[in-house]
């Protein structure tokens, strides 16, 4: 019985180690891809929103919300 328990604990340790390494690798890859995407999109904004003032943005968002609510009334 002692040998079986030791084998089970060893298998559990190996399995947990493999999962931990895989998840660590996954986090690393996601972080790398995220930084690459941020660097490539940092130069340009798709809608040029950096040139709008806060008041202009508020007006745009207010109009968009009003339009959405008008289109989705029941």
What confidence score (pLDDT) does residue 41 get?
74
Q: Count H helices, E strands: the chain?
A: 2, 0
Kindly report, residue by residue over 15-66, the tens digit of the pLDDT.
999 999 999 999 999 999 999 988 887 666 556 556 778 888 899 999 999 9
Biggest CA pair distance of the chain: 74
What confidence score (pLDDT) does residue 5 get?
94
What confidence score (pLDDT) does residue 44 get?
61
User: Is a pLDDT exceeding 90 seen at residue 1?
Assistant: no
With H, G, I as helix, E, B as strand and everything else as coil, classify residue 53.
coil
What confidence score (pLDDT) does residue 46 get?
59
């Amino acid at each position: 019985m002692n040998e079986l328990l030791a084998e089970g604990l060893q298998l559990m340790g190996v399995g947990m180690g493999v999962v931990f390494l895989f998840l660590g690798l996954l986090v690393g890859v996601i972080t790398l891809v995220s930084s690459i995407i941020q660097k490539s999109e940092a130069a340009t904004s798709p809608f040029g929103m950096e040139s709008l003032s806060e008041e202009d943005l508020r007006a745009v968002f207010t109009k968009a919300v009003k339009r959405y609510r008008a289109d989705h009334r029941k």
